[in-house]
């Protein structure tokens, strides 16, 4: 079985090859970045902003997935036991192929 | 052009026929229910809980769509100028056809 950190690396590698992906952040449940493909400051901004959202949704439900679409980008958030995976993508590029 | 309230009725009619849809809530931006296919109390609970989420995401981004998936249900939220549309569905029923 993969260690958590190997699992994280594997996840980042798999997702970052996808078209339209702007960045990947793996954060802990307190919103601190563990790994990212983005600039540290940018990752920190996203992590801070969306960790509140995850916490708020998590407390009242057993959240499995969160997708936030704004005019500029799309953020997909998948909470795991040990970490939270956050992918920022540009929807217009990502869905061009489909 | 349809009045806002006719637009709401039209939207409710169109969505409520879809498989797996458990309820539809149309609320104002303060989280008060304007129309719903659910029990008033249940609608109030959902509206209260998710209006915070919309407000929080709205202030920092120009939110166009929010999808929250938990183990029990899936909530899709589409903010419009005059109201916020919230659809609660059972993902296992909805995606059976696809």
Identify the pLDDT of residue A59: 67
Identify the pLDDT of residue B69: 93
Q: What is the mean pLDDT of residues A35-59?
A: 88
CB contact under 8 A, A71 and B64: yes
> Which residue out of A45, A54, A66, A92 would a mutagenesis test of the B interface target, given it has the greatest number of B Cβ atoms within 10 Å?
A66
Whether chain B has a CB inside 8 Å of the CB on A13: the answer is no
Reported confidence tier of residue B31, pLDDT bands at 50, 70, 90: very high
Kindly report the nearest CA distance between residue B79 and chain A, in angstroms. 11
Q: Does the complex come out with an ipTM higher than 0.85?
A: no
- Does the pLDDT of residue A54 top 90, yes or no? no
Cβ contacts of B86 within 8 Å, gap of 6 or more:
B24, B25, B26, B27, B46, B47, B50, B75, B76, B77
Identify the pLDDT of residue A58: 75
Please name every residue paired with A84 in a beta bridge, in sequence order, or none if there are none: A27, A79
Reported confidence tier of residue A82, pLDDT bands at 50, 70, 90: confident
Cβ contacts of B30 within 8 Å, gap of 6 or more:
B51
- Does the pLDDT of residue B82 top 80, yes or no? yes
The larger pLDDT score, comparing residue A60 to residue B47, is at B47
Residues 47-86 of A with CB under 8 A from B: 49, 52-53, 56-57, 60-72
CB contact under 8 A, A61 and B67: no
Please name every residue paired with B88 in a beta bridge, in sequence order, or none if there are none: B23, B75
Instruction: Write down all domains in chain B, each with its CATH number in brackets.
Output: 4-94 (3.30.450.30)
Helix then strand then coil, in percent of chain A rounded to 5, is 40, 30, 30
Reported confidence tier of residue B57, pLDDT bands at 50, 70, 90: confident
Cβ contacts of B14 within 8 Å, gap of 6 or more:
none
> Which residue out of A50, A53, A68, A74 would a mutagenesis test of the B interface target, given it has the greatest number of B Cβ atoms within 10 Å?
A68
- Does the pLDDT of residue A1 top 80, yes or no? no
Cβ contacts of B69 within 8 Å, gap of 6 or more:
A63, A64, A65, A66, A67, B91
Please name every residue paired with A24 in a beta bridge, in sequence order, or none if there are none: A87
For B53, name the nearest residue in chain A, comparing CA atoms only.
A53
Question: A86 to chain B: which residues are within 8 Å by CB?
Answer: none
Closest by Cα among A77, A89, A16 to A51: A77
Rounded CA gap, B82 and B71, in Å? Answer: 31
CB contact under 8 A, A70 and B49: no
Range with the largest mean pLDDT of A19-33, A43-57, B52-66: A19-33
CB contact under 8 A, A71 and B62: yes
């Amino acid at each position: 079985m993969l260690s958590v950190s190997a699992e994280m690396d594997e996840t980042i590698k798999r997702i970052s090859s996808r078209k339209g992906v702007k960045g990947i952040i793996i954060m802990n449940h307190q919103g601190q970045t563990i790994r990212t493909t983005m600039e540290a400051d940018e990752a920190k901004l996203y992590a801070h902003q969306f960790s509140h959202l995850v916490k708020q949704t998590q407390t009242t439900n057993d959240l499995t997935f969160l997708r936030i679409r704004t005019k500029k980008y799309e953020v997909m958030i998948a909470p795991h036991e040990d970490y939270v995976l956050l992918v920022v993508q540009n929807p217009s590029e990502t869905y061009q192929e489909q």
